[in-house]
Every structure is written in structure tokens, then in C-alpha cells.
Amino acid sequence: MPKLTNSVLYLMSISAGLVVTNLYYNQPLLHQMSETFGVSEAAVSNVALSTQLGYAFGLLFIIPLGDKVSNKKILKFDFLIMIASLIAAGLSNSLFLLIMSSFFMGFSSAIPQLFVPMAAQLADNKGRGRAIGIVMSGLLIGILGSRVISGLVGAEFGWRIMYYAAAVVMVFLFFLLHYKLPKIKPNYTGSYGSLLKSIGFYFKTEPAVRLAALRGGLAFAGLSAFWTTLVFLMEDSFGYGSGVTGAFGLLGIAGALAATIVGKMSDKLSKNKIIIWSVLLLIVSWGIFLFSAHSIIGLVIGVILVDLGLQALHITNQNIIFSKNPEARNRVNTIYMVGFFTGGALGTTLGAYAWEQYNWIGVSVLGLVLSIGIALVHLIFKKKTV
């Protein structure tokens, strides 16, 4: 087994951040897209929804292969789809084509989730949390940076240019990973069908994985509802465009910088305590959002807290599941991340509906209910898992 060097670890972190940006470019650009195709805000939110659903399918059908197929072979197949879908999105002449392109963009952009279990596999027991934290830092910075970049590019050049530029970046990244990433040969020898079936086995027999997926899914549902509707709030309450909306992503850098710290903490402290404090941060952040429909300061504080809470919860969840079943880390990560991004897709849909019916108050109440739900399910089921 190759040794996890710092250069490889940070390459995985940077790569995870660059690839995951493909999932979130659309969020600050939704208003521009609705104007381009002459559709409602609710209709164009399906672009974000299809991207997240595609990501969930990619996690389900691609990531388990990390326990069976060489990582280099997966990269070749995945990046081909990714680059083609980015170009297709930029060329889309209808909302339907953009939605379909976004689905395959999300499907192929699941590749960062190979890096997380890879880092956990190559690291020793004492450094596993740190390794996960560093990769997740890159992932979160990519998520946050994508909104900033796409907001600025969209405001200056239009939303299509963002996708063309992303395709060029992915071509460069593929060659870098191909030559620098260590090759890992998994031990699983069964068929692809039996590999997928075994996911069900781990889902049934690992309550810690199920609970982690539920906690993560509920938390990400709230965050997705926030980012999907923030662009509409900025337009309606403050008259700001995509550039300002995207700039809000910079505020979440605190969460990204905290990822490495949280990773180290989860190697030493009680995971149950970290989870409880994370959920409290989420509840407080949504309480602040509830009274911030016309307050930029309130939104700023809320964004910092919600990103900190989600990141701390997410890394702790992953450290818990990766400490179990080392021979199947990609499969248990599949279970967790499918739950996580299915929650994100649900949050996008519920957030758009809440905005249409009740505006920002509806979105804030939705996030508050979801966060309280995390606290309840954790307190009820924690004795069996953590």
C-alpha cells in the first residue's frame, strides 16, 4: 500500500475542491438562467436539483467501484463524462437540455468521494481524522469558491462562459491526477452486481452508518435550501445580483479552515460531544436567519455559523463510518454520501417551495425544523451507534 505523503494528500484536497465546484456553479446563476429561458424561479431550480440528484446516482454507481477497480481506470471514465457534460451545459439552448447536462455533470463529479476514503485508507489510525479533514477542507473551499467565481463570471460574461472555463480546468486536472496520484489496486474480486448488493448488507448491519447518513442528509438539506433561495432573497430584499450572492461563499471559509481542526479533534475527543455542539450551531444559525430577511449582518453571521456546524458534523460523521469496515470504505461512504446528497436534493425542492409560498420566513423555518430533527434522531439513536 502506498504511503500517504503530504504532497499526495494536498493534491487530493485541491482536486476534490476543483471537481466539486461543478456541482455549485449554477446556484448564483439561477436568476440569469431563468431570464435566458423565460421560466420561473421554481422551474429553474430544477437545474440545481438535477445536479444534486446526478451526484447521488454517481455516488451510488461509481464510488463503490473504488473497492473493486483501480482508481486510475475510474478517473479516465469519469472525467470523459464530466468534461462532455460541462461543454453540453454551456451549449444548452433549452432548460431541458441544461437540466439533463447538469444531471450528468453531477453524476461524474462524484469523484472527490473517492479521495476521502482513499485518504482514510492510506493514513494510519492516529492521523485518519487529520487526513479526512484536509481533504474535506479542499472540498468545502471548492464549494464556497464555486459560488464566488460563478457569481463574478456570470455577472461579467454570462452563465455559459462559466461552464466552458470549468471544462478547460477539468482537462488540466485529469492529466495532473493521471501522473501524480498513486495507483491503488482494491482487493474485492466479486462481480459489479455483487458489489452493489453488498451495499445493502452494510446498510442493514451498520446502524452507525445509517444514523450518520440521516444526520448528514438533514443538515445538508437545510444548507441546500439556503443556497438555492439566497439568490432570490438578494434580488428581492436588497436588489443585489449574482456577484454579491456568490461573494457570500467567502464567509464560509471559516468552516473550511475549521475542517482540519475538527478532523484532529475527532481523533482525540468524544464524537458525541462534537456532534451535539455542531447541531447546536446549526439551530442557532437558522434562528438568526429567521430574523435576517432584511439584515445583511444577520445573514453574514448565519452563513459563518451554518458552515461551521455542517462541516464539523460532516467530518465527524465520516470519521465514525471510516473507522468501521476498512475493507469496504468506499461502499460505506457511498451509503453516507447518497443520504447526504439526497438530503441536499430534497432541501433544494423544499426550499424552492418554501420560498414560493412563504418567502424567507418559510425557508428559515424549514432549516430550523431540519436542524431540530437532527438533534432528535441523534439523541434517540446515539446509544446504538456512537
- List pLDDT tens digits, range 140-155: 788 777 877 888 888 8
- Interatomic CA distance for residues 251 and 307, integer angstroms: 9
Flag whether 139 is in a domain. yes
The CATH number of the domain holding residue 24 is 1.20.1250.20
Residue 58 lies in a domain: yes
Whether the CB-CB separation of 226 and 351 falls below 8 Å is answered with yes
Q: Is the pLDDT of residue 85 over 80?
A: yes
Q: What is the DSSP letter of 26?
A: T
Segment 273-292, tens digit of pLDDT? 889 999 999 999 999 999 99
Torsion sign (Cα): 336, 341, 343, 344: positive
Q: For residue 296, tell me if it sits in a domain.
A: yes
Q: What pLDDT is attached to residue 146?
A: 80
Does residue 244 lie within any of the structural domains?
yes
In angstroms, the CA 67 to CA 358 distance is 45
With a cut of 70, say whether residue 2 has pLDDT above it.
no
Q: What is the predicted pLDDT for the residue at 251?
A: 74
**Maximum CA extent, the chain:** 58
Is 16 part of any domain? yes
Is residue 107 within 8 Å of 58, Cβ to Cβ?
yes
Is residue 185 included in any domain, yes or no?
Answer: no
Mean pLDDT for all residues in the chain: 86
Tell whether 269 is covered by a domain: yes
What pLDDT was estimated at residue 281?
93
Q: With 60 as the cut, is the pLDDT of residue 252 above it?
A: yes
**For residue 20, pLDDT beyond 80:** yes
Span 312-362, pLDDT tens digits: 898 889 888 887 777 788 889 889 988 887 898 899 889 989 998 999 999
In a domain, 187, yes or no: no
Does this model's pTM top 0.75? yes
Mean pLDDT on 362-384: 90
**Dihedral angle over CA of 31, 33, 37, 42, nearest 10:** -50
How many domains are contained in the chain? 1
Domain that holds residue 312: 6-180+192-384
DSSP string, 320-381: HHHTS-GGGHHHHHHHHHHHHHHHHHHHHHHHHHHHHHHHHHHHHHHHHHHHHHHHHHHHHH
